[in-house]
Amino acid sequence: MHLPDPCPPDAVHLGVGEGGFFAAPTMVRTVLGSCVAVTLFCPERRMGGIFHGLLPSWKEYEEATPPGPRSYRYVDSAIERLVAEFADRGVPPRHLVAKVYGGANALFQENISVAGRNVKVALETLARLGVRVAASSVGGSKSRKILFRTDTGEVTQQLLGGRGGTA
């Protein structure tokens, strides 16, 4: 018997270049093509973070300094920002669980290199920071709609035009 959740989470939709850290239960949804979303979850504290990154690395697109409030736009700085949010609350990277989604070549042929680089930079940045990747669904030609529950770490994915799954 499954009882309904006594306190359903708030719902948030992320657009391109948006993200956030969530200490309260929240259901976050976003739709990805060549962009990448990384979810970070701390099982002990039941907190989560997610972003919808457009481009792989801020260094390829910005002048000399890392971006400020736009840091969720870039995959590398978005991961660094979320890991710092957890660290500010006493959660080291080794206590985080990451899941990586997106990087499809869904829209235009010229996005192939950006999509692949988005995924590559996500995996390299997580490894460099010592964050374990528990699941990923990347590449291919179909866009993805994902739902991330920040208090459980559960991610549900739907391939647009196909069947979905849970990670």
- Give residue-wise pLDDT tens across range 123-154: 999 999 999 999 999 998 899 999 999 999 99
User: Which domain, by its residues, includes 81?
Assistant: 10-166
Residue 154 in any domain: the answer is yes
Residue 2 in any domain: the answer is no
Cβ(106)–Cβ(143) below 8 Å? yes
CATH code for position 111: 3.30.1330.200
* 144-149 vs 26-32, strand pairing mode: antiparallel
Please give the tally of structural domains in the chain: 1
Cβ(55)–Cβ(70) below 8 Å? no
Residue 5 in any domain: the answer is no
Residue 127 in any domain: the answer is yes
Beta bridge partners of 90: none
- Give residue-wise pLDDT tens across range 95-105: 999 999 999 98
- Give residue-wise pLDDT tens across range 49-91: 999 999 998 777 666 555 555 579 999 999 999 999 999 999 9
What does each C-alpha distance from 98 to 6, 8, 106, 139 come to in angstroms?
27, 23, 23, 17
Residue 4 in any domain: the answer is no
Residue 1 in any domain: the answer is no
